[in-house]
Each structure stands twice: as structure tokens, then as C-alpha cells.
Amino acid sequence: MNICVIGPGYVGLVTAACFAEMGNEVICVSRNEEKVNNLNNGVIPIYEPGLEVLVEKNLKDARLQFTTSLEEGVKNSLFIFIAVATPPDEDGSADLAHVIEVAKRIGRCLDAYRVIVNKSTVPVGTAEKVRDAIWSELEKRGIDLEFDVVSNPEFLKEGDAINDFMKPDRIVVGTDNIRTAELIKELYAPFAREREKLIVMDVRSAEMTKYAANAMLATKISFMNEMANICERVGADVSMVRKGIGSDHRIGYHFIYPGVGYGGSCFPKDVQALIATSKESGYKSKILTTVEEVNAAQKKVLAQKIIDYFQHKGGLNGKTVAVWGLAFKPNTDDMREAPSIDIIRRLTNEGARIQAHDPEAIKEAKRVFGKNPNVVYFDNHYDALKDANCMALITEWFLYRNPDFERTKRLLKSPVVFDGRNQYSPKEMERLGFEYFSIGR
């Protein structure tokens, strides 16, 4: 099938590459000429395991191409995926400016029946706005054409997006048109060979499903962080509590790991957008508001532990903190809303010097922190430890799971570890001679 994907960002690039991998002819459109040239040369602007190989392969096989011409994409494709950014507005609601602008541009060059698919994460009612924007442009041209607007939210985890797209748990499609549903079903058939994964519903419910899914996952994280804070105060071990409740199949083990709070491009933005949507509808979402408040507070917990520890040792001013992990989660270079940002800024405000390492996010960290002389970066995680007064683990990369603790102890000025992800055993760390601090235990 012929597919056009507008917006080669994280979602758009993964969508385009995976559809091309299944034998479809895919045109990916961006206004950014430099980005298009780089992509056509196999230069990927983001780090996502497996994506670069997939893009290069399908470029070579001529199933995937990148262009600045939206008209070329629209006129040569049956399916037009809108995958542009929907950043949070000042009030937390999703900014639809890019989505509506793309819809207008589609309306200016539409020449036959097309299925327009909203892949961007958008508030309830956006499909109607997209439809109206396209109709408005068609009316200006004096043309009456049939087209459909479908909601098809993405459920991709950064760091495992290729696998999520290729082997989805479900494929949610919002449409009231039976014919369109069958077309989408045919498009996604290669991804649902083992069982039926397509869930067809009305458009508004499909739009809501994406927000509800991310809000539920964010709620589980904030709930477990709240349990960790209570455990710490009453002398319980949140790791044991997690095992105790996770064994209940109604709860499960996913997303109940305590830590330094959630970040990234989805959970913070989508929780805020759903809160804004509920306000617009006249309803105050107490749970979601609390989820956001708990997460904001949790990002301060690890830094406060470090500040409190050094308060009795002359304060943090002039001290060096080695930081392992900058990305908001492993297997990505994404630092949007990353807890590391809040933690590092709080520590440097107290006068600390940061020696940071991350397998993929150093380039992005340099952009985030700018020319801050108190934040320096190392390509090797052990080098970041040298002469530091303590180490803080923020992102649970595999690389940090089982380090050489004797080497770690030798490199640090003092054997002090603040574990923001509860990666290590308190008893083992004590046996090895470390002062060890974690979350909720």
C-alpha cells in the first residue's frame, strides 16, 4: 500500500520505517530540508534501538523516502498519517497548531479519496477539527471530495518502539465508517497475524483511549512513589511491598517500580492535557492533579537526600557528585522532563559540581544545561566517579546494573551511593563498605 507520514519525529519515523519494513511504499514529509537530506542519507536525529538499521534498509530497498513536498506525499498515497508534535500550551492543554496547519495543507492539495489518520496524541474532538480544516480548504478550491479522518493513537515505549509497533498489544482505530475500518484492518494485517488486534470504536473514544492509557500508567508510578515515601517513614521496605502487591494478577508488576519520578515526552504532557480537557468539560480531575503533584515532588527526593547528607559535612558547596544516567529512561537519548534535570539543577544551585555519564544522552544534556561550568561529562561511567564525594544513580541503564563495586569504591573520595532506582541490595552495599541510600527502604 502507499502511505504518507507527515512529521518524521519520534512517532512518525518509527511509523514510516515499520510500515516500509512490511513492504509498503512510504513517503515521509517534513518542511525541514536539512532534516530531509540527512534522513535520505541515513542520518537519524534520535536514538532508538533498531531504528537506524530499519531506515537504512528500507531506503536502500526504495520502499522509504523523505521529501519536503507534502503534495507529492498526498497525491501518491491512500493513507496519510499526521504525526506532528502537539506540545503543551501554557495551560497544559495540547497545542494543535501544527496538526491543524497540516490538515489545511492536505486540503489544499487533496485530489482524490484519502484516509487521513491522526497518529499524533491529540485531545478529544481533534478529528472533527482536522475534518473541518480540510473541508474549509476544499471549499475555497470549489471542490467536493470524499475523505475520512481516523484516530489511530500510538502506544510506543521509547527504547522499545520498533518491537511495540511490529508486535502491538492492540491497534486502536476510531472511525464510524465500516469501509474505512476494513481499509485500516488490511493495512495493519501484517502486524496482527497471530490474533485479532484491531479494536474499532468511535473517534472520540479512540482519542480518549490514548490519554487514559498514559494517565493510568503515570498513576501507577506516582502511587508506588507515594508508597515508597510512606515505607521510608514507617520502616518498611518498598521493594518487598512491590513484590507483595505485584504478585496479585489484578495489579501486576509493570509500572510499580519506585524511583525519582516519571519524565519523557508522553506521561507529563498527556497527564497535563487530560487535566486541561477535564477542566474544559467542567470536571475537576482530583486523581490526575494529585498524580502530577506527587511526580513533581518525587523529582526532588533524591536531591534532598544528598543535600541532607552533606549538611552535616560542611554543605554541598564545593563537593562533587558523580551522576550515572541523564535520559528520562534507558535506551533513549530523550531528556524531555527527565528527573535528572531537576536533580542536577538543584544540586548545582547548592554549589555542587556534577560529573555526569550517560550512554546516549550526553549530547542532549549539553543542550539542556548549556555552558554550565559545574556540569562536566564523561564517556566512561567509571571516569565520572574519580574523586567524587558520592555517586547518584538516576537512570537504570543495564550498564549500571552490576558495576565493579570495588573499582567504584576506589575511585570515589568517599564510598557513598544514592540509588534513585533501587538497583542495588542494601545488605550487599553495606557488606561492601558503602554508605547506601535508596528510595523507600
pLDDT in tens, 387-398: 999 999 999 999
Residue 157: per-residue pLDDT: 94
Residue 88: per-residue pLDDT: 86
CB 398 within 8 A of CB 391: no
pLDDT at 90 > cutoff 90: no
Residue 194: per-residue pLDDT: 83
pLDDT at 135 > cutoff 90: yes
CB 364 within 8 A of CB 395: no
Residue 92: per-residue pLDDT: 86
What proportion of the chain, given as a percentage, has pLDDT over 90? 97
pLDDT mean over 173-185: 96
pLDDT mean over 111-137: 96
pTM, two decimals, is 0.93
Q: What is the pLDDT of residues 286-295, one digit of tens each?
A: 999 999 999 9
Alpha-carbon gap, residue 399 to 367, rounded angstroms: 23
Q: What is the pLDDT of residues 303-360, one digit of tens each?
A: 999 999 999 899 999 999 999 999 999 999 999 999 999 999 999 999 999 999 999 9
pLDDT mean over 48-65: 96
3-state secondary structure the chain: CEEEEECCCHHHHHHHHHHHHCCCEEEEECCCHHHHHHHHCCCCCCCCCCHHHHHHHHHHCCCEEEECCHHHHHHCCCEEEECCCCCECCCCCECCHHHHHHHHHHHHHCCCCEEEEECCCCCCCHHHHHHHHHHHHHHHHCCCCCEEEEECCCCCCCCCHHHHHHCCCCEEEECCCHHHHHHHHHHHHHHCCCCCCEEEECHHHHHHHHHHHHHHHHHHHHHHHHHHHHHHHHCCCHHHHHHHHHCCCCCCCCCCCCCCCCCCCCHHHHHHHHHHHHHHCCCCCHHHHHHHHHHHHHCCHHHHHHHHHHHCCCCCCCCEEEEECCCCCCCCCCCCCCHHHHHHHHHHHCCCEEEEECCCCHHHHHHHHCCCCCEEECCCCCHHHCCCCEEEECCCCHHHCCCCHHHHHHHCCCCEEEECCCCCCHHHHHHCCCEEECCCC
Residues 6+ apart with CB under 8 A from 308: none
pLDDT mean over 107-136: 96
Q: Which of 4, 18, 266, 390 is catalytic?
A: 266
pLDDT mean over 129-148: 96
The β-bridge partners of 29 are 6, 67
And the C-alpha cell for 410? 576506589
pLDDT mean over 236-245: 97
Q: Does the annotation count 28 as an active-site position? A: no
How sure is the predictor about 282, in pLDDT bands with cuts at 50, 70 and 90? very high
pLDDT at 91 > cutoff 90: no
CB 400 within 8 A of CB 393: yes
Residue 418: per-residue pLDDT: 98
What proportion of the chain, given as a percentage, has pLDDT over 70? 100
pLDDT mean over 256-272: 95
